[in-house]
Amino acid sequence: MYIVTGGAGFIGSNLVHELNRQGIENILVVDNFADSRKLFNLHGARFHDYMDKREFRRAMQENAVGIPTVEAIFHQGACSNTLVDDGQYMMDNNFSYSKDVLRYAQGQRAPLVYASTAAVYGLSGPGHFTPILENEKPLNIYGFSKLVFDHHVRNEIANGRISTTVVGLRYFNVYGPREGHKDRMASVIHHFTKQIREKGTIRLFEGSGGYGNGEQRRDFVYVRDLVRLNLFFAQVGDYATAGGSARKVYQGVANAGTGKSRSFKDVANALIKVHGPAKIEYVPFPEDLRARYQHFTEADLTSLRALGCDFTFTQLEDGVRETFA
């Protein structure tokens, strides 16, 4: 059985669909359907079972999940709303829950690939996105909750308490299919598309953070590339070890981005090529984001390459075109 937490969410549902494309249907989807819109992400997906996140967590704690063999766990479940300031909730949901999943994976001797985030880097500038302590300065409790679990994993590895695959992937600015339910937390690709369809105009921020109008830069990474990374480290399907059943063991925390920042204006132009002509206008930068906004992100891929992954990532224009194909 393959377990995908957050399996009805943006990245999790894309994982489920890709597992299906690999011929795998023996999947347990774990999620919270308080937002029932997520059900649309699983249209056409095939999976064996479903558990509510709270039920799954309780079952793990009581050793009552009842799965004889777990092939791999993809832990995508978390509160990803960077504007949530309830620290107690965020730490329980993103840190304590993740520790439960890690313990369970270790007990099952199953590979665990989990979602971390580039939010741990806070206001880092160019050249400061390597996963080292000096660069890790999150701006909000979301980034902090993810960073603390990364610390926990790295400490467990360093002290020899983990012998199986455990890899944390620090996702940069993810975009692609099945993110419509995320509302304000959806990618700018989603928001700009909505603006084009409703008003024929894309609204970009005026200059801020030392960047000109629309020139703020992010590392935009296509969701299907992140799915490939998850399958690579868990060695599933096409990514399984060639020539035998023995799995390689991967351990560590690595950046998951393209390694190349692109401007918001680049995104707007890529979308105009797909959706047709639209005007670009510049709006004042929101005051409520000034202290918590990353004007620049760009993954340093040294850590990812050191783990043995040499993927070539999808170019922004190609990913945008495929998203709306």
Alpha-carbon gap, residue 232 to 253, rounded angstroms: 14
Per the rule left: phi > 0, alpha: psi between -120 and 50, beta: everything else, 176 is left
DSSP state at residue 314: P
Say how far residue 59 (Cα) sits from the centre of its chain.
25
Backbone angles phi, psi at 7, to 5 degrees: -70, -10
Which residue is catalytic, options 182, 222, 250, 265?
182
Query: Is residue 142 among the annotated active site residues?
Result: yes
Alpha-carbon gap, residue 134 to 93, rounded angstroms: 26
Alpha-carbon gap, residue 281 to 109, rounded angstroms: 53
Alpha-carbon gap, residue 274 to 223, rounded angstroms: 18
Given a contact cutoff of 8 angstroms between Cβ atoms, the answer to whether 19 and 27 are in contact is: yes
Which residue is catalytic, options 2, 104, 121, 142?
142
Query: Is residue 97 among the annotated active site residues?
Result: no
Catalytically annotated residues: 142, 182
